[in-house]
Structure 1
Amino acid sequence: MPQDTVFHLPFPAAVSPDADPARRRSIAWCRRLGLVTGAVDEERCVRWDIAGLMAAWIPHASGDRLDTAFDAVVVAMFLDDQFDGPLAGQPQQVAAVCRAFTDVIASGGDPPPDDQGPLPRAFAHVWRRLIHQASPAWTERTAEHWRWYLDAYTQEAANRASHRLLSRAEYIELRRKTGFVYAMLDLSQKAYGFELPHHLRTSPTVRRMLDITADVVDILNDVHSLEKEPGLEALAQRVEKEGQRSVPRSTVVEITVDGNFVSPRTRPDQSCGRLRAGCGWPHDGGRPATVVRSGTSAAPGRVNLPSRTRAQSLLSVKFA
């Protein structure tokens, strides 16, 4: 599928008016923490446009609250870049890299040793801001979501090393962890100054909504990334073997949440995809209820997902 695929969403996107100042503040933060050390690094950050992503994900946030969410996602993007090369198929080394981040979580945000590189130090700075004035329950919940994200890298590396191709159900389960969406939903709560109460957090309806949000964001990203990530091509072949219709790369898709799977359906007669979220509970007129917000770009109704590039090494890990 072309990298400039446009997904038209049936609702407008709001954008924080603080987006442009937040871009400048984030670049300054990256320089201060050693994540950006030159023009190439800065260009990469600008190309990712995390500010556009977060300004639309949490459009009513601004100032320090927007910056905290922005910087958290920047750390996640830089970490993701570390595993695009040879390290991706070495689970023991990947686990060692991720341990530096889980250690930060366990310590409550204590700065890691200098020899671990600037990225774990930047994460420690973000983590202290995330848990500031947060309840123990919320802190543990977002810590769990970050651990999902970190542990999933080791799982993916082990799968690559063993040449294991996941089933569709296994892939969706793992993708919910690698997609970082649950942690981003935590960032929304932090940015808006509330914590989801226990009775809502454990509600089957709310849990289903969170799963649908994660599935839609993840599958849209995978559709966009299909041509540049071989693992997704393998998944498409597995889906076809399981009796689903394969999605030709030259066509666009309609994404429908159906049960626990966001299934692609070929739409050769259209030049764009339509997003429909089919909920598992009643809604008016039998029409799909929209339960996700267009929040991945500053432009209303448009999803611009950044291409991943190799970053300079921001980690220093010694392996036995």
Structure 2
Amino acid sequence: MMGSAGPPRQTRFVSSEPDEARDFIGRVYDSHLRVGNAVSGGMWVGFDRVEFGDVNLSAVRISADLDFRMEGGDQILIATVKAGRVDYVRGRDSARYGPGDTYLGSRSEVRWDARLHGPDLDVVGLPESLLHEVAGTAPDRSGGHWRPLSWQPLPGCAAQWRTTARYVRELFEGPQVATEPLILGAAVRMLAATALTIFPSDVLPGPSATDRHDAHPATLRRAIAFIESQPHLDLGVADIARAANVTSRALRLTFRRHLDTTPLAYLRRVRLDKAREELGRATAGDDRTIESVASRWGFADPSRFAERYRDEYGESPDRTLRR
């Protein structure tokens, strides 16, 4: 659950002073980063970041050539080059990235050196703990330890990453949902799930024998009881699995086997019921709107909320509100 992260925070920085720019970039990336001297005269840095908890999305523009060194920390960095060039050296491996390329810029236990040539980058930082949680590979659970097998996404998947990152950034910056923990938490997990999808890894592809054994009706009852008692909290699959005392894979298999759905689809249905109850309690003069109620229960898109509402209840949310 990420509800304690608070609303997203924004940081903007612009400077043409080389020392000031180096100090700022060094602080942003903490002690894992050492910024070398510019290798061509002059420097201009523009930095625009939005953060939610340990997740951050940054637009970075540097009108100079810079040398970087980073010791792998507890975040992975996924970068997309919009302009300029980035040359990487990671141990014996080297790579060059240009406009349109998306790549895994950093992960734990890997030191790298890079030379950035007038880069314009979109960079997403995700804590590895979040990736383990979404992948269901927490250290105390079976299923393997998530570790990427490539620095580049699977063929044809880079556009999916760019679309997802842009959507999440727009959510973080939107005034209506910027304070809604259910929407923000789901967006962060969607970002992590997309990263897990596009970068090949050594995570086991399916449930283990233990997971299949645990996917029984008692597990389903525990999970449903937890969901129905806590729908107002920012819940992910890992939270529900912990409450049911099984792995995330076992939980998914349980819902598929017994209800032909997913844990999160079941959670969304419970929240939809709660939204309907709230719309039905509205009285003349109170400040409830369809958009505010939908956002409060984790539905970021009012039009999709209305469509699903009509499919489920045979009437529009506006009719419920006016009744």
TM-score (normalised: structure 1): 0.29
More strand by share: 2
Q: Which has the larger radius of gyration?
A: 2
More helix by share: 1
Q: Which has the higher contact order (CA 8 A, sep 6+)?
A: 1
TM-score (normalised: structure 2): 0.29
